[in-house]
Amino acid sequence: MAKISILFVGLWLLVNWAGLLDAEHMNMKYKDPKQSIDTRVEDLVSRMTLEEKIGQMLQIERKYASADLVKKYFIGSVMSEGGSIPVPQASAETWINMVNEFQKVALSSRLGIPVFYGIDAVHGHNTVYKATIFPHNIGLGATRDPELVKRIGAATALEVRATGIQYVYAPCIAVCRDPRWGRCYESYSEDPKLVQAMTEIIPGLQGDIPDNLPKSVPFISGKEKVLACAKHYVGDGGTINGIDENNTVIDRDGLMRIHMPGYFSSISKGVATIMVSYSSWNGVKMHANHDLITGFLKNTLHFKVK
């Protein structure tokens, strides 16, 4: 009888403990897909420690990353810069095993926040051995075929997601005005109208925004798509003598007429992110340009990541 009572009490405690856990889980709004994004974000941030918030603001390069480091410092994002690979001739299987290792420890953390992995998939998933490689932007621009570029974006997204990666640092929508620039091959054209047309790669990467949703709001359509990144804001293709990360000397009208149209189109197509350039505009570093980043990009163009 005593054994039966102990067993009954044990089961009662287990059921109630499970019920409490379930109630606690149900109270976690950030895990409830029915809640609005703003509500989920607010709930999650309210639960985070200072250390977790700092970790989520960091993005570290793959060669310095490890599962232990991601776990210890609550790292929010890992990236592969140009040419950064796990091993020579890294296959899709090698890539996904590496990404999954980071993801596993992130999801097993206290709050279960997944790791965000970004990569320079700028002409196909170009750092994966035997992936589909497409021409660089300068060649694609010569086709003058936005629909082709959209299909290339869709194919790239599919191969990137197959390796567990959710984010690509593409497209480059620089308007190359001097062929001496070492990154001119990343530009679709010296013609801003053609560059603007080629932003059709964005719905290829991210998916088309449904008619019932507002335009100009970041949108990703599903698990076969990735977040895109329009870069490099702004004027990186117009630097003096084509020197990379140098100074672009041009009046505001010229900047808006030549270098900005690609961003107008990218935002209207729901681009998820925009990368700020290392270059300067009339002597002011773009990262320090409050007028163009906060004043124009955020307040005038209403670019806001949600």
Average pLDDT score over residue span 239-252: 98
Query: Tell me, what's the pLDDT at 20?
Result: 40
Q: Identify whether residues 170 and 271 lie together within a single domain.
A: yes
Rounded to 5°, the CA angle 80-230-116 comes to: 40
DSSP 16-63: HHHHHHHHHHHT-GGG-TTS-HHHHHHHHHHH--HHHHHHHT-EEEGG
The answer to whether the beta carbons of residues 227 and 166 sit under 8 Å apart is yes
The answer to whether the beta carbons of residues 69 and 75 sit under 8 Å apart is yes
Q: pLDDT grade, residue 240 (50/70/90)?
A: very high
> Of all residues in the chain, what percent carry a pLDDT higher than 90?
88
| Residue-range definition of the domain harbouring residue 48 | 37-300
Provide the H-helix boundaries in the chain: 2-26, 37-47, 50-56, 67-73, 92-107, 137-143, 146-161, 192-197, 201-206, 252-254, 261-268, 290
**Helices and strands counted in the chain (H then E):** 12, 9
Q: Identify whether residues 59 and 12 lie together within a single domain.
A: no
Q: Identify whether residues 84 and 186 lie together within a single domain.
A: yes
Q: How far is the C-alpha of 262 from the C-alpha of 294, rounded, in Å?
A: 18
Q: pLDDT grade, residue 215 (50/70/90)?
A: confident
- Residue 116, strand partner residues: 77
Q: Is residue 96 part of a domain?
A: yes
How many structural domains is the chain composed of?
2
CA dihedral 135, 165, 95, 131 (to 10 degrees): -20
Q: Identify whether residues 213 and 172 lie together within a single domain.
A: yes
Q: Identify whether residues 254 and 120 lie together within a single domain.
A: yes
Q: Identify whether residues 47 and 92 lie together within a single domain.
A: yes
Q: Would the pLDDT of 11 be above 70?
A: no
Q: Would the pLDDT of 208 be above 50?
A: yes
Chain segment 149-200, per-residue pLDDT in tens: 999 999 999 999 999 999 999 999 999 999 999 999 999 999 999 999 999 9
Q: pLDDT grade, residue 257 (50/70/90)?
A: very high
Query: Tell me, what's the pLDDT at 4?
Result: 43
Q: Identify whether residues 69 and 151 lie together within a single domain.
A: yes
Q: Identify whether residues 31 and 136 lie together within a single domain.
A: no
